[in-house]
């Protein structure tokens, strides 16, 4: 297997250019920040961007956890690639990763200065320092399930086809990890409840929430709630509408993934406005 290192200091734009560097050299597999990537798919591993501290992120990227390293080694053995591109902040880091994964010597080295101008590198460093943005070279839908509570943005890559026309050639993901902030943020269950209550109160056919329970796990949030509905509405379509609207709004406002949203129609009430008018003498 031919092993190529792609080397540059943290924040200089390696992940942004990794797919292009690999494609130019006919390399199908990439190792970047703890994950093994093939094309637009994550094959194995855990992203270092998920770690809560900078030190934890570095350890993850270096495959210091034996179980993590073994998972990626098994995937490499199964796929048996002809070549692989390893991203690292130094030559030593690339060689250490290759050694940890049993890939043999690094045959070739590409430096960020070879593929990016001084201005582009400075711009990337500025974005990292000021906005805490990191790039993962796969589409957002590939990583969303593993990044509950992180702010994700798709980064679409175009190439010029002609005057005024562009072709979409790929998508990367911009993630702002916990360790890139000054501290850590959390979202309380009561805040989740307030969002859900607001959404449901604006859905015709819902009277109120009678019970609410939320559990926040690393992979996302699990919600259970009992509802008092208004008599006269078809229950199943109404519950599906509630699920869709609650999921969309909670994920939009909090960046948390809703892994489960279980609803129970607990009881019904008669809408006083829909009662027939009392008979008059």
Question: How far, rounded to the nearest angstrom, does the alpha carbon of residue 103 sit from its chain's CA centroid?
Answer: 28
* Domain identity same for 26 and 113: yes
Would you say the C-alpha torsion 56, 60, 62, 66 has a positive or negative sign?
positive
* Domain identity same for 51 and 127: yes
What percent of the chain is predicted at pLDDT more than 90?
44
Of 131, 150, 175, the domain-final residue: 131
* Domain identity same for 194 and 86: no
Residue 169, pLDDT score: 45
* Domain identity same for 92 and 11: yes
Among the ranges given (52-56, 86-90, 161-165, 272-276), the one the predictor scored with the smallest mean pLDDT: 161-165
Structural domain harbouring 63 = 2-131
Of 86, 114, 131, the domain-final residue: 131
State the DSSP string of the chain. Answer: -EEEEEE--TTSSHHHHHHHHHHHTT--EEEETTEEEETTEEEEE--GGG-SSHHHHHHHHTT-SHHHHHHHHHHHHHH--SEEEEEESSHHHHHHHHHHTT-----EEEEHHHHS-HHHHHHHHHHHHHH--EEESS-HHHHGGG-TTSEEEEEEEEEEEETTEEEEEEEEEEEE-GGGSSS-----HHHHHHHHHHHHHTSTTEEEEEEEEEEEETTEEEEEEEEEEETTS-HHHHHHHHHHHHHHHHHHHH---EEEEEEEEEEEE--GGGSPPPP--
CATH assignment of the domain containing 247: 3.30.70.1350
Mean predicted confidence (pLDDT) in 10-18:
85
* Domain identity same for 41 and 126: yes
* Domain identity same for 98 and 18: yes
> Is residue 161 domain-resident?
no
pLDDT in tens, 236-259: 999 999 999 999 998 888 777 888
Cα angle, residue 30 at apex, residues 6 and 34 outer, rounded to 5°: 95
Annotate 213-248 with b (16+ C-beta within 10 A) or e (fewer). ebebeeebbebebbbebbeebeeeebbeebeeebee
> Is residue 264 domain-resident?
yes
Beta pairing class for 2-7 and 108-111: parallel
Q: What's the length of the chain? A: 281
> Is residue 89 domain-resident?
yes
What percent of the chain is predicted at pLDDT more than 70?
76
> Is residue 253 domain-resident?
yes
Of 131, 160, 179, the domain-final residue: 131
> Is residue 164 domain-resident?
no
Mean predicted confidence (pLDDT) in 23-48:
88
* Domain identity same for 6 and 127: yes
* Domain identity same for 14 and 107: yes
> Is residue 257 domain-resident?
yes
> Is residue 123 domain-resident?
yes
Residue 101, pLDDT score: 94
* Domain identity same for 7 and 125: yes
pLDDT in tens, 134-181: 766 665 545 556 655 565 555 544 445 555 555 544 555 666 666 555
> How many domains does one find in the chain?
2
> Is residue 143 domain-resident?
no
pLDDT band, residue 280 (cuts 50/70/90): low
pLDDT band, residue 96 (cuts 50/70/90): very high
pTM recorded for the entire structure: 0.61
- Average pLDDT of the chain? 82
């Amino acid at each position: 297997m031919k092993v190529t290192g792609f080397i540059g200091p943290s924040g200089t734009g390696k992940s942004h250019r990794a797919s292009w560097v690999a494609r130019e050299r006919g390399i199908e597999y990439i190792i970047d920040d703890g994950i093994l990537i093939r094309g637009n798919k994550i094959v194995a591993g855990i992203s270092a961007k998920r770690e809560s501290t900078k030190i934890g992120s570095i350890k993850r990227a270096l495959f210091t956890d034996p179980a993590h390293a073994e998972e990626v080694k098994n995937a490499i053995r199964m796929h048996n690639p002809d070549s692989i591109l390893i991203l690292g902040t130094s030559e030593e880091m690339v060689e250490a990763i290759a050694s940890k994964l049993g890939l043999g010597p690094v045959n070739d080295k590409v430096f960020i200065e070879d593929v990016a101008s001084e201005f582009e590198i400075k711009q990337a460093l500025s974005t990292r320092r000021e906005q805490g943005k990191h790039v993962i070279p796969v589409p957002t839908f590939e990583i969303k399930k593993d990044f509950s509570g992180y702010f994700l943005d798709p980064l679409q890559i175009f190439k010029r086809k002609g005057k005024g026309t562009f072709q979409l050639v790929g998508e990367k993901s911009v993630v702002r990890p916990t360790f890139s902030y000054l501290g850590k943020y959390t979202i309380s269950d009561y805040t989740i409840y307030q969002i859900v209550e607001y959404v449901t109160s604006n859905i015709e056919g819902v009277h109120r929430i009678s019970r609410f329970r939320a559990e926040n796990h690393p992979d996302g949030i699990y919600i259970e709630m009992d509802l008092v509905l208004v008599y006269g509405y078809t229950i199943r379509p109404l519950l599906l509408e509630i699920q869709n609207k609650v999921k969309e709004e909670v994920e939009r406002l909090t960046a948390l993934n809703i892994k489960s949203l279980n609803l129970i129609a607990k009881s019904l009430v008669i809408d006083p406005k829909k009662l027939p008018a009392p008979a008059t003498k």
